[in-house]
Structure 1
Amino acid sequence: MSGFENGVALVTGAGSGLARGVVLEFVRGGCVKIVAADIIPERLAETAKLVSEINPAARVITVPTDVTNATQVQNMVDTAVKEFGRIDYSVHCAGITGGAARTDEMATEEFDRVTGVNLRGLWLCEKAVLGQMKTQEPRKLSNGTSARGAVVNMSSVLGLVGYRVQSPYVVSKHGVLGLTKADAVDYAADGIRVNAVCPGIVRTNLLPEGAWEHMGAFIETLPMQRLGLIEEVAAAVCFLASDKASFITGTMLPVDGGYCCV
């Protein structure tokens, strides 16, 4: 048993890609109380439909949310608490890429746009979620310990290494790891774990469809010589959120097919 059967999961960016995969993995793991947030309402409706196909008994509350808007983020958390009473697992996946240029050629507005979503937006989500989690009654775990909640932040392998002409994205994903470590320390005494997952190259809607057709030579340089699957990243996220990871906090887990080894 995962422990998800008795918990409430919140996932941002849940209308597509890795975040949608995380929602579906939670449901496969027995979670029946889910808050799905995304900036595009139509995508959330599709996610909710896919959830019902896996488990018609699962209840999904969809909350259109712009993570750069503090009021909307707080409304997302307030809605979760109003509907389900608490938040046990919070996964922050909302993110964007950005334009390609070296730093001196990059528009300042583009830096602000990318870091505004990927780092400031994630910080706003943590701020609201952690404020809620620390007030909750601890939940007893099967191993005899207790916990108030688990947070998993979506970073990237580019939070661990540099990359050409992508400084705003690289900065934002490194920042996510810094925030993860800082909050893991700050909230451990409250019974709240904070971890991060660093996906490698996974085929999602984060890049334009045409971009994937030109990556063959690059993929061949990877140790596993293939793209990752959404399900593989989602499984890692849900492991870190689960009771099985009850003594893990402040970690950064690459799911990258060996990308960071070369």
Structure 2
Amino acid sequence: MSGRSAIVTGAAQGIGLAIAKKLHEHGASVALVDLDGDRAEQAAKELGGERVLALACDVTDEAGVERVVRTAAEEFGGLDIHVNNAGITRDASLRRMSVEDFDAVVTVHLRGTWLGVRAASAVMREAGRGSIINISSLSGKAGNPGQTNYSAAKAGIIGLTKAAAKELAHRGVRVNAVQPGLIRTAMTAAMPPEAFAEREAAIPMKRAGEPEEVAGAVLFLASDLAAYMTGSVLEVGGGRLM
């Protein structure tokens, strides 16, 4: 990743922060983007050294996303990698879920990812190269009870990834996705212990994953090792739902 630049959304914590750290450790300049600008600043300090930028952005805001891409490209002299990771949850049963909570989750995940792909690819097309990685979820493959909004949005990200990959391949821009399974984050830590244990027991590898393991898959897709891969979906779930 030496000499390359990256944007990671939702980078203040969890999987996003692990991705930002992994890319930075391997030499990339990284813009950490988050709705909470203060937390993004704090996360940037964790990376240390140079080649780090913290930016506040609501990924559902068209102008905001374009500003982030423009700022990072100007600061780093270009944009090589863009990771759409930002997301939220608003869990409830189908019967109890409000329209507002359905719309909020779909908008952040799906519209946010689409805006990121569109803005990043506009810069990358001109350069004739680039790697965009969208973070989906195994919930988008099989669906989770209580997450009709989240599962629908994460499934949509796969369709978006494949369509964008077909549009951009001839311009040297690759678009791939990662589908994490049960990963130890603040989100899963909030699950009832018995529910977490039940899901973990169903995983062939018999353990939850770590954010760094998702980051490893992103690093691979961002690198030249994956130069002939586009429209692909990598599952990082310990064998769950294979």
Query: What pairs with 1:44-55 in structure 2 (closer than 5 Å)?
Result: 44-52=40-48
Give yes or no for the alignment of 1:158 onto 2:139: yes
Give yes or no for the alignment of 1:63 onto 2:59: no
Equivalence for 1:113: 104
The amino acid across from 1:69 in the alignment is D
**Runs in 1 of length 4+ with deviation above 3 angstroms?**
none
Give yes or no for the alignment of 1:73 onto 2:65: yes
Judge which range, 76-85 or 151-160, deviates more: 76-85
Query: Which 5+ residue runs of structure 2 have no aligned equivalent?
Result: none
What percent identity do the matched residue pairs reach?
Answer: 39
Give yes or no for the alignment of 1:8 onto 2:16: no
Shift of the alpha carbon at 1:28?
Answer: 1.6
Secondary structure of the 1:11 match is: strand
Q: Tell whether the 8 Å contact from 1:159 to 1:172 is kept in structure 2 after alignment.
A: yes
Match of 1:211 among 165, 180, 191: 191
Q: Tell whether the 8 Å contact from 1:96 to 1:206 is kept in structure 2 after alignment.
A: no
Shift of the alpha carbon at 1:212?
Answer: 5.3
CA distance in 1, matches of 2:7, 2:211: 18
Equivalence for 2:30: 34
Secondary structure of the 1:6 match is: coil
Structure 1's 203 and 189: CA in aligned 2 closer, same or farther, altered over 3 A?
same
Structure 1's 257 and 212: CA in aligned 2 closer, same or farther, altered over 3 A?
farther
CA distance in 2, matches of 1:218, 1:78: 41
Judge which range, 209-218 or 86-95, deviates more: 209-218
The amino acid across from 1:91 in the alignment is V
Give yes or no for the alignment of 1:178 onto 2:159: yes
Structure 1's 210 and 115: CA in aligned 2 closer, same or farther, altered over 3 A?
closer
CA distance in 1, matches of 2:199, 2:67: 42
CA distance in 2, matches of 1:220, 1:81: 44
CA distance in 1, matches of 2:141, 2:193: 25
Structure 1's 212 and 149: CA in aligned 2 closer, same or farther, altered over 3 A?
farther
Equivalence for 2:15: 18
CA distance in 2, matches of 1:205, 1:86: 33
How does the TM-score come out when normalised to structure 2? 0.96
Q: Tell whether the 8 Å contact from 1:92 to 1:153 is kept in structure 2 after alignment.
A: yes
Shift of the alpha carbon at 1:42?
Answer: 2.0
Shift of the alpha carbon at 1:169?
Answer: 0.4
Q: Tell whether the 8 Å contact from 1:203 to 1:212 is kept in structure 2 after alignment.
A: no
Shift of the alpha carbon at 1:78?
Answer: 1.1
Q: Tell whether the 8 Å contact from 1:21 to 1:230 is kept in structure 2 after alignment.
A: yes
CA distance in 2, matches of 1:67, 1:172: 14
The amino acid across from 2:72 in the alignment is A
Secondary structure of the 2:200 match is: helix
CA distance in 2, matches of 1:251, 1:222: 23
Match of 2:74 among 82, 86, 95: 82
Equivalence for 1:92: 84
Shift of the alpha carbon at 1:37?
Answer: 0.5
Q: Tell whether the 8 Å contact from 2:110 to 2:157 is kept in structure 1 after alignment.
A: yes
CA distance in 2, matches of 1:253, 1:85: 30
Shift of the alpha carbon at 1:107?
Answer: 1.2
